[in-house]
Amino acid sequence: MTNHSVSVKDLTLNFGAVKVLKNLTLDISEGEFIVLLGSSGCGKSTLLNCIAGLLDISDGEIWIKGKNVTWAEPADRGIGMVFQSYALYPQMSVRGNLSFGLKTAGVPRAEIEKRVARASEVLQIEPLLDRKPSALSGGQRQRVAIGRALVRDVDVFLFDEPLSNLDAKLRADLRVEIKRLHQQLNNTMIYVTHDQVEAMTLADRIAIMKGGHIMQLGTPDEIYSRPQNRYVADFIGSPSMNFIDGQLQDGVFARGDLTIPMAGYNYASPQPPGGPATIGIRPEHVVTGELVGNAPVQLDVTVDIVEPMGSDTLVWTEVAGERFRVRMDGHAQVRHGEPLRIGIVPARASLFDAKSELRL
């Protein structure tokens, strides 16, 4: 229990007969930035609400800072929380929003002023202190909401999709600010989002959730490079990974005429397995242009659809009868119907068992 800032042990949550969270276990270290990532309905916000104490759990335990807080009130858990809708108290000034909780808790006036001053300095909201939330922009409101968590002087911050209500540019700006805040404060942060860019850029570790389970818990690099199952592989990465179903036999992946010797592939188990398998290849890992000659496996395909995106171009082709996306340089000159030579590097691909969908 020593090193863990937050520990979730065997957490189960039922709504009536529906199991929303199933025997979840998650250990978060001191100062770690954990992102809970998943599509809507996967249970990520529910898990966060359980950690915050806003939902009563059905079974299991929650420990924060070495204390069992499973049945403690949210206010007594040593957490601060930031919400998607900001949830500011609309009739109070920014200063009122920051200090209301502390006043209620009976914190001395001087201490409140000190904390408000510090939080507003960190978040650069000093000029806004006497305004009402309705007179603030979305980004400013979310900063005040973060400030309300900050003045609580707690060790653990919970973020529930804090940037979802902001427009794209503001979201990118505030994302960097949250990262800076984490570096500055070094608090433990648990952050829920459905945006994989936020997850990849902010997280020390990402927990990808689906149907109340954690599908994979790992660093952004692990999640991206070595997805543990097909769901994670498909979920992370944009444009998403290409999948081809086939057979794995003696270290060679085959589907009809297509054969890919998996030399250099790092298997999850010591001995290379065989049987029905799925190979996953990220569009950005397909080699094109002059470098094709260096790739271990080379294929000739026909260009179907070209989607230029400025910095790069997405080319749709067909491999072994399956749609296959290739990411090329933005300057690539390709057109519908033209032949294209592509190279595949098996070491960067992923193999999944066709049945269990787990990484091979």
Partner 1 sequence: MAQARKRRLRLSAIIGTVPMMIVAIGVYVIGIAFTVFWSFTDSKLFPNSTLVGFKQYHRLWQDDRWLVAVQNIWIFGILLMVFALAFGFLLAVFMDQEIRQEDLLRSIYLYPFAMSLIVTGLVWQWMLDPNFGIEHTVRSLGWANFQFSPLVDPNTAIYGLVVAGIWQGSGVTMAILLAGLRGIDAEIWKAARIDGIPIWRVYIFIVIPMMRGSIGTAFVLIAVGVVRVYDLVVAMTGGGPGISTNMPAVYVIDMITKSYNVGQGMAAATIMLLPVIAVIALIGLGRIVSTRRKNAAILRAEATA
CB of 92 to partner 1, least distance (A): 8
Do 351 and 221 form a contact (C-beta atoms < 8 A)?
A: no
- 131 versus 179: smaller Cβ distance to partner 1: 131
Q: Is 224 in the site for partner 1 (CB under 8 A)?
A: no
Q: Is 81 in the site for partner 1 (CB under 8 A)?
A: yes
Encoded one letter per residue, x for contact with partner 1 by CB under 8 A and - for no contact, window 92-121 reads: x-------xx--xx----------------
CB of 23 to partner 1, least distance (A): 25
Question: And the tokens for 209?
Answer: 């959730």
CB of 64 to partner 1, least distance (A): 13
Do 156 and 191 form a contact (C-beta atoms < 8 A)?
A: no
What's the CA gap between 157 and 66, in Å, rounded? 16
Q: How many residues bind partner 1 (CB under 8 A)?
A: 40
- Identify the residue among 38, 80, 227, 343 touching partner 1 (CB under 8 A): 80
Phi–psi pair at 114, nearest 5 degrees = -65, -45
Do 343 and 291 form a contact (C-beta atoms < 8 A)?
A: yes
DSSP string, 332-354: ----TT-EEEEEE-GGG-EEEET
Identify which of 243, 257, 270 has the alpha carbon closest to the alpha carbon of residue 353: 243
Scanning 25-33, 64-72, 144-152, 269-277 for contacts with partner 1 by CB under 8 A, the matching segment is 144-152
Scanning 18-26, 33-41, 88-96, 326-334 for contacts with partner 1 by CB under 8 A, the matching segment is 88-96
Identify which of 180, 206, 204 has the alpha carbon closest to the alpha carbon of residue 193: 206
Helix axes 109-123, 94-104, angle to 10 degrees: 140
157-216 positions binding partner 1, by CB under 8 A: 160
Q: Is 52 in the site for partner 1 (CB under 8 A)?
A: yes
Neighbours of 121 (CB within 10 A): 10
- 19 versus 131: smaller Cβ distance to partner 1: 131
CB of 31 to partner 1, least distance (A): 21
- Identify the residue among 132, 179, 194, 341 touching partner 1 (CB under 8 A): 132
Q: Which CA distances in Å does 31 have to 121, 156, 237, 310?
A: 21, 8, 27, 38
Question: Helix, strand, or coil here: 271?
Answer: coil
Scanning 84-92, 243-251, 272-280, 296-304 for contacts with partner 1 by CB under 8 A, the matching segment is 84-92
What's the CA gap between 21 and 11, in Å, rounded? 7
What's the CA gap between 73 and 80, in Å, rounded? 13
CB of 104 to partner 1, least distance (A): 5
CB of 203 to partner 1, least distance (A): 23
Encoded one letter per residue, x for contact with partner 1 by CB under 8 A and - for no contact, window 59-78 reads: --------------xxxx--
Q: Is 135 in the site for partner 1 (CB under 8 A)?
A: yes
Q: How many residues make up the chain in this entry?
A: 360
The strand pairing partners of 327, in sequence order, are 314
CB of 145 to partner 1, least distance (A): 8
Q: Is 313 in the site for partner 1 (CB under 8 A)?
A: no
Question: And the tokens for 334?
Answer: 């390709």
* Contact set with partner 1 (CB under 8 A): 49, 52-54, 73-76, 79-81, 83-92, 100-101, 104-105, 127-128, 131-132, 134-137, 139-140, 145, 148-149, 152, 160
